[in-house]
Amino acid sequence: MDAKTLILEGKTALGIEFGSTRIKGVLVDYDGHVLASGVHDWENKLVDGVWTYDLEDAEAGLRSCYSSLRKDVKSKYGVTPSTFGAMGISAMMHGYIALDKDDKQIARFQTWRNTNTTQAADELTELFDFNIPLRWSCAHLYQRILDGESHVKNVASVFTLAAYIHYRLTGEKVIGIGDAAGMFPIDSETHDYDSDMAAKFDALMKKHGHDLRLFDVFPKVLVAGDNAGKLTAEGAKLLDETGTLKAGIPLCPPEGDAGTGMTATNAVAPGTGNLSAGTSTFAMIVVDKKLKKLHREIDMVTTPSGFPCAMSHANNGTSDLNAWVSIFNEFCGLMGITADMGELYGKLYTHALTGDKDCGGLLAYGYYSGENVTFINEGRPLFARMPDSKFNLANFMRVNLYTSLGAVKLGMDILLKDEGVRLDRITGHGGLFKTPLVMQKFLAAAVNSPVYVMSTASEGGAWGIALLAAYLADGKSAGKLEDYLNNRVFKDLSGEAVNPDPEEVKGFEEFTQRYVAGLEIEKAAINAMKW
């Protein structure tokens, strides 16, 4: 069928992902071909020391994004969709959305960006003998108890953003296993929260005077291909303000951006990996065995199918880099030059390839918030150099691109060098990979492995959640999720590998040594800059 007929007959899949700065929707056919897209820009805010979004803004952004997509469909095909074969919601992982028994929000939404949970994360890590990162929902809940926040006595449900939006659309308190793995440790055998750890958590709640059971408060865990409910009439009205969209559309399990990133890069089987480069930057490798020991720098999560996955997650990625490009754009304006932002990014990134392999001795940290990999709980973006450093534009751009991978590399070094994890291939995706070759070459130098970038690299997690919806609607006949991706979605998609250059590997290692040593500068900046 042609695209218009597929849309009219509802033989399509819709995915919507809530990213850090953009809500994006993608409509695909069941083989993953993109038919239309829509976007809505938004931004987090710092309120009383807490990084947050208003949930009203999330719902308004959802409608705006869908409206944008609906208009794109009308423009391209002359029709308006009234139904889909399936749809799915994805969002930034982790964080804390608390509701009472009447589904009223009772505390400010705390996003993944908050690192105000050190005591809780430390205590839970010791209790479970399992790394609990600062971002995880169980750490946020326990920290609220340790801080004596009064709302905890009324907590009936705790959600991630994806699970919350899914609940608003379907009335189902469920979550995809990949997103659930950012709430609480997962047992990959049972595809559920780890029952032994959950019992310890419940006992800890009672010790502090709270009758909270984790399995009651957290959403039910589902895996890829499970039916996660249907769009209700209220959900259809919330999504489509025109009233055209019909209720009854099946939804796949809501997933986190890590799981959709794996899906979008066909990195869901053991030995495969991917790196997502955006506002936060994270790399993950699907593993086939347990790590030798606990590492506080490494998160253990899962693929959307439940395979264990080791993640090196950096809270900070491209925010400071984007700020510097905006400065250059402002300078262009002063010179009477109207610069296209896409061209400006491309020229600056490509120019970085001409810089010194070690960035000429320059040093930068794009720490807008605390960084868990380096155990720093607050952010201070900074740039530093020695008097004799080679300070030029190419090195300046190169060091800011390198540092966007700096914290992630430290975690990857643990996995690849210390743990000896098998990595057959790693695929890059996200906005940083839009400029050809640049970040592909730098990532290859960082991990000393070939790096693939697919033609779909810039589609990102919205495409990934659309694929998971398509898998629910029509893909399960192909077998497991990895079979569907291999044999249908990616069978005709080719990606070229960039192999690591030994000199660039050496240069990145020299930069990394400075990066580690310079963390003392970052700590000093936190202590000194209190205004």
Percent of the chain clearing pLDDT 70 (strictly above): 99
Q: Contact at 8 Å (CB) between 12 and 77? A: no
Q: Are residues 72 and 116 in the same domain?
A: no
The pair of three-digit structure tokens given for residue 284, joined into one six-digit string: 């993950």
Q: Are residues 342 and 395 in the same domain?
A: yes
Q: Are residues 167 and 102 in the same domain?
A: yes
DSSP string, 193-226: E-HHHHHHHHHHHHHTT----HHHHSPEEE-TT-
Average pLDDT, rounded, for the chain: 94
Q: What is the DSSP letter of 301?
A: E
CATH number at residue 125: 3.30.420.40
Q: Contact at 8 Å (CB) between 68 and 239? A: no
Tell me whether residue 45 is in a domain: yes
Tell me whether residue 523 is in a domain: no
Domain total in the chain: 4
Whether the CA torsion 106, 112, 114, 116 is positive or negative: it is positive
pLDDT in tens, 199-232: 999 999 999 999 999 999 999 999 999 999 999 9
Q: Are residues 422 and 460 in the same domain?
A: yes
Q: Contact at 8 Å (CB) between 438 and 349? A: yes
The pair of three-digit structure tokens given for residue 524, joined into one six-digit string: 């000093």
Confidence bin at 1 (pLDDT 50/70/90): confident
Last residue of a domain, one of 375, 403, 431: 403
* Position 55 pLDDT exceeds 90: yes
Tell me whether residue 85 is in a domain: no
Q: Contact at 8 Å (CB) between 137 and 111? A: no
Dist CA 432 CA 404 (whole Å) = 10
Q: Contact at 8 Å (CB) between 228 and 249? A: no
Dist CA 322 CA 530 (whole Å) = 24
Q: Contact at 8 Å (CB) between 430 and 262? A: no
Q: Are residues 306 and 416 in the same domain?
A: yes
List residues bridging with 90 in a β-sheet.
Answer: 17, 255
Q: What is the DSSP letter of 108?
A: P
Tell me whether residue 165 is in a domain: yes
List residues bridging with 429 in a β-sheet.
Answer: 276
More confident residue, 291 or 399: 399
Residue with tokens 């060091």, as numbered in its chain: 399
Q: Are residues 108 and 144 in the same domain?
A: yes
Tell me whether residue 515 is in a domain: no
Q: Are residues 96 and 178 in the same domain?
A: yes
Reported residue count of the chain is 531
* Position 494 pLDDT exceeds 70: no
| Greatest alpha-carbon span in the chain | 66
Q: Are residues 61 and 201 in the same domain?
A: no
- H-helix segments, 133-187: 137-146, 161-170, 177-180
Q: Contact at 8 Å (CB) between 473 and 13? A: yes
* Position 289 pLDDT exceeds 90: no
Which residue segment(s) compose the domain that 445 sits in?
A: 266-317+408-502
Q: Are residues 46 and 180 in the same domain?
A: no
For residues 324-348, give the mean pLDDT: 96
Q: Are residues 302 and 416 in the same domain?
A: yes
Q: Are residues 310 and 354 in the same domain?
A: no
Q: How far, CA to CA in Å, does 214 sit from each of 106, 142, 192, 444?
A: 18, 11, 12, 41
Last residue of a domain, one of 26, 43, 76: 76
Residue from 176, 101, 72 nearest 465 by CA: 176
Q: Are residues 462 and 493 in the same domain?
A: yes
Dist CA 283 CA 313 (whole Å) = 6
Dist CA 230 CA 248 (whole Å) = 5
Q: In three state form, how does the secondary structure of 459-499 look?
A: HHHHHHHHHHHHHHHHHHHHCCHHHHHHHHHCCCCCEEEEC
Dist CA 362 CA 390 (whole Å) = 7
Tell me whether residue 41 is in a domain: yes
What pLDDT shows up at residue 290?
A: 83
Percent of the chain clearing pLDDT 90 (strictly above): 84
Residue from 262, 280, 508 nearest 373 by CA: 280
Rg (CA), the chain: 22
Dist CA 278 CA 276 (whole Å) = 6
Collapsed DSSP state (helix, strand, coil) of residue 21: coil
Residue from 250, 249, 253, 187 nearest 223 by CA: 253
What pLDDT shows up at residue 455?
A: 72
Dist CA 408 CA 420 (whole Å) = 17
What proportions of the chain, in percent to the nearest 5, are helix, strand and coil?
45, 20, 40
Last residue of a domain, one of 76, 104, 133: 76
Residue with tokens 């869901």, as numbered in its chain: 268
Dist CA 110 CA 113 (whole Å) = 8
* Position 457 pLDDT exceeds 60: no
**Angle between the 406-413 and 438-447 helix axes, to the nearest 10 degrees?**
40
Tell me whether residue 497 is in a domain: yes
What pLDDT shows up at residue 458?
A: 60
Residue with tokens 């629910």, as numbered in its chain: 472
Tell me whether residue 425 is in a domain: yes
* Position 32 pLDDT exceeds 80: yes
Dist CA 482 CA 401 (whole Å) = 32
